[in-house]
Amino acid sequence: MAVLTGDDLAADGIGPLICGVNVTSDDGEPHRAPVHPALAQGKVNYVGDHVAVVIAESLSQAKDAAEKVEIDYGVLPSVTDTATAAADGQQQIHDNAPNNMCYNWPFGDKAAVDAVFESAHKVSSLDLVNNRMVTNPMEPRAALGDYNSGTEEITLHVTTQNPHVHRLVLSAFNQLAPEHKLRVVGPDVGGGFGAKIFVYAEELVVGWSCRKVNRPVKWTGDRTEAFLADAHGRDHVAHAEMALDENGKFLAMRVNTTANLGAYLSTFATMVPSYLYAFLLAGQYSTPLIYSEVKAVFTNTAPVDACRGAGRPEATFLLERLVDVCAEDMGLDPAEIRRRNFIPVDAFPYQTPVVQCYDSGDYPAALDKALALADYDGFSARAEEAKSRGKRRGVGLSFYVEACGIAPSAAVGQLGAGVGLWESAQVRFNPTGNVQVFTGTHSHGQGHETTFAQLVTEQLGVPIENIEVIHGDTAKTQFGMGTYGSRSLAVGGVAIAKACEKLIEKGKKIAAHALEAAEGDIEFADGNFTVAGTDKAMNIAEVAFNAYVPHSYPEGLEPGFDENAFFDPMNFSFPAGTHVCEVEVDPETGVVKIIKYSAVDDFGKLINPMIVEGQVHGGIVHGVGQALLEGCQYDSDGQLITASYMDYAMPRADNVPSFDVDYAPTDPPHNPLGVKGCGEAGAIGAPPAVINAITNALGIKHIDMPATPENVWRAAQSAS
């Protein structure tokens, strides 16, 4: 039995948890970064902050012992409300963050935008809240540390989306162990959605304590711990305004946002409400001027970081709600006002006023297809029929562009990221002709084992059953950046394809020698190297065997058939789509039923449509959860009052229908495979589609998320 505290951690020179992205505040200073010790020293800042670790022979013994740890708490006033966290007179959470401000980050030409607003034909405006979510992958986080005193190596099994990033951060910033003495393993993880990107206190403490007690140490989070201490998502309060001309054209947009970052900065917290949010505010529209100001604040709540979509759902919800308000104010159909403002198909590459340069898109095509899929024209008849039953039907449209496939290293470096965001691959033939594909990305439900094997089959002509995809262990794979931001295929897949190209180039030399032909005459297709215009051919498996048994082999060529490649993308990937949600509201009970949900997305080329469709389904329900059900609540004393599935409503099978999914692809010129990311799209597109449908059904301007039966009932009562 051992009880260890922050003093023990500090005595061993273990560094605090860090945030890896700099955002420069409007005073020219870097964002305020409070020290975040993995085990608190003297002060805890949120319910869920880590105080001490008890290590025992069994879980029940450890839990019993933890009950006996006495902590003498003196209660300080707490700050939990996003909107008022930076107000005068609030309790100051960190000495180095006056007014609880992490940063105030303005972007755009304020004077120019203000001038347009002053002379605009119409100004539409909206106040909205983007509700705090708890990410909730179904497998809670876990860590198991095992120290080998002979080799002085720590093996840390951990629920991670990015094993090498974990190893790098734990080594370079937390001084847990040198990189070559730390192995991070996490090949089979039960969902992530962002929550398992970050380096958490428990993981550092488990890695450190296994060496300290020289025994394997295991921690498995329970669901309550996940609610209390996983990084949460979203939590914005915003005011948005659009200036329009008399034809409903958008002239300028102005957005003021307060984003809650929680008590400390999680690993990538600062970039979510800044670069991943404000740079997406153009959406699908050619709005020429945008000004955004983001105040990021500290509160006595769990740290907030990326959650499926990360910043992009917040931007899309704000924009698509605001555009619906514009349509109402201008007396235009919601589809029509979008058509008038779409970035034209011939305008790509299109430089938005908020940094991003979209490489491809055809927004009218997706809209047309989605309206047909949703039978938009038949809506009014269905609404009439519902009315005869005392129900109110509504239809909501949502249009999104997201920037994913993150990211060009130089671009994110300029913005303040501490890492490069390329991806790596190694494609290794074994002498008997089967293939092992090592990827630096990570699969925690995305099915990379299938998609990447398909990709290699397509490239090399090797039967899919002879291909194994390996990831999730720093001792097996080369350094890689992991999986988040819908990057695995768009970045990691390209690295695999590039390694395959190198194999084909080398294979041509080997085949030319064996077939007694000139290298320039060798063609490769369907797994065979052929001498052009002849029937002389050699299968790639034979070439691999020759490379490992190089008895008769090109002079000077290295043996072996094993290539690696790194790919640094030239631009982000810009998936886009139109989502249409039709709801029926019971005004007597406030219950919202989703009758039909249609999604038409542009993900470029699909490699495995079944997997892509599954990602869309899951994303939509994540977004429906945010729109209708999920709302993380702290009370004013800092207690998390939604810390279990009894209090926090997850979407369940009977909350949603089956979905109609289709595609309107365009070809992204920056991506060698022609692919775009698909993992976050649904969670980005769904919340505004659902809320726009509810406001349409009730004839109201706005309703905040989650639109629970109580909230909807109240809105229905005040509207009628």
* Residues found near other proteins in the complex (CB under 8 A): 60, 136-140, 189-191, 193, 222-224, 444-447, 610-611, 613-614, 616-622, 644-646, 650, 652-654, 656, 658-659, 682
Measured CA to CA, the distance from residue 496 to residue 681 in angstroms comes to 24
Q: Tell me, what DSSP letter sits at residue 720? A: -
DSSP helix/strand/coil, 708: coil
Measured CA to CA, the distance from residue 467 to residue 521 in angstroms comes to 28
Q: Min. distance of Cβ 152 from other proteins in angstroms?
A: 30
Q: What is the 3-state secondary structure (H, E, C) of 8-28?
A: HHHHCCCCCECCCECCECCCC
Closer of 53 and 228 to other proteins (Cβ): 228
Structure tokens at 372: 């047909």
Structure tokens at 247: 């034809």
Q: Min. distance of Cβ 141 from other proteins in angstroms?
A: 12
Structure tokens at 674: 């022609």
Give the E-state strand segments of 159-249 in sequence order.
182-185, 217-220, 232-233, 236-244
For residue 216, give every residue at least 6 positions away whose Cβ sits within 8 Å of its Cβ, in sequence order, or none: 144, 145, 146, 147, 210
Name the residue among 718, 687, 686 with its Cα closest to residue 701.
Answer: 718
Residues 706, 627 contacting (CB under 8 angstroms): yes
Measured CA to CA, the distance from residue 361 to residue 347 in angstroms comes to 9
Q: Give the H or E element holding residue 338.
A: helix 334-341
Measured CA to CA, the distance from residue 333 to residue 263 in angstroms comes to 43
Phi/psi of residue 304, each to 5°? Answer: -115, 135
Residues 664, 362 contacting (CB under 8 angstroms): yes
Q: Min. distance of Cβ 307 from other proteins in angstroms?
A: 11
Closer of 188 and 336 to other proteins (Cβ): 188
- Helix ranges restricted to H, 461-534: 494-514
Closer of 121 and 652 to other proteins (Cβ): 652
Q: Min. distance of Cβ 299 from other proteins in angstroms?
A: 26
Closer of 444 and 508 to other proteins (Cβ): 444
Q: Min. distance of Cβ 362 from other proteins in angstroms?
A: 26
Neighbours of 549 (CB within 10 A): 11
Q: Give the H or E element holding residue 713.
A: helix 709-719
Q: Min. distance of Cβ 325 from other proteins in angstroms?
A: 29
Q: Min. distance of Cβ 60 from other proteins in angstroms?
A: 7
Closer of 5 and 450 to other proteins (Cβ): 450
Q: Give the H or E element holding residue 343.
A: none
Closer of 544 and 693 to other proteins (Cβ): 693
Q: How far apart are the first and last CA of the chain?
A: 64
Closer of 212 and 232 to other proteins (Cβ): 232
Closer of 582 and 613 to other proteins (Cβ): 613
Measured CA to CA, the distance from residue 123 to residue 146 in angstroms comes to 61
Q: Min. distance of Cβ 704 from other proteins in angstroms?
A: 23
Q: Min. distance of Cβ 195 from other proteins in angstroms?
A: 10
Q: Min. distance of Cβ 641 from other proteins in angstroms?
A: 14
Q: Min. distance of Cβ 563 from other proteins in angstroms?
A: 30
Q: Min. distance of Cβ 607 from other proteins in angstroms?
A: 14
Closer of 223 and 702 to other proteins (Cβ): 223
Structure tokens at 489: 């295929």
Please report where in the chains the tokens 């260890």 appear, as a residue.
Answer: 4
Q: Min. distance of Cβ 693 from other proteins in angstroms?
A: 17
Q: Min. distance of Cβ 192 from other proteins in angstroms?
A: 8
Q: Min. distance of Cβ 136 from other proteins in angstroms?
A: 6
Closer of 563 and 601 to other proteins (Cβ): 601
Measured CA to CA, the distance from residue 241 to residue 326 in angstroms comes to 9
Closer of 33 and 612 to other proteins (Cβ): 612
Closer of 55 and 620 to other proteins (Cβ): 620
Q: Min. distance of Cβ 544 from other proteins in angstroms?
A: 31
349 preceded by a cis bond (ω within 30 of 0): yes
706 preceded by a cis bond (ω within 30 of 0): yes
Q: Which residues pair with 291 in a beta bridge?
A: 254
Q: Tell me, what DSSP letter sits at residue 353? A: S
Q: Min. distance of Cβ 654 from other proteins in angstroms?
A: 4
Neighbours of 281 (CB within 10 A): 27
Residues 335, 242 contacting (CB under 8 angstroms): no
Closer of 43 and 652 to other proteins (Cβ): 652
Residues 241, 123 contacting (CB under 8 angstroms): yes
Phi/psi of residue 516, each to 5°? Answer: 55, 50
Buried b (16+ CB within 10 A) or exposed e, 331-347: ebebbebbebbbbeeee
For the chain, the C-alpha Rg in angstroms (whole number) is: 27
Q: Min. distance of Cβ 65 from other proteins in angstroms?
A: 15
Closer of 160 and 666 to other proteins (Cβ): 160
Measured CA to CA, the distance from residue 361 to residue 601 in angstroms comes to 10
Please report where in the chains the tokens 């501490």 appear, as a residue.
Answer: 418
Closer of 33 and 189 to other proteins (Cβ): 189
Q: Tell me, what DSSP letter sits at residue 590? A: -
Closer of 194 and 334 to other proteins (Cβ): 194
Closer of 251 and 374 to other proteins (Cβ): 374
Closer of 180 and 652 to other proteins (Cβ): 652
Q: Which amino acid is at 22?
A: N
Measured CA to CA, the distance from residue 194 to residue 216 in angstroms comes to 27
The percent of the chain in helix, strand and coil, each rounded to the nearest 5, is: 35, 25, 45
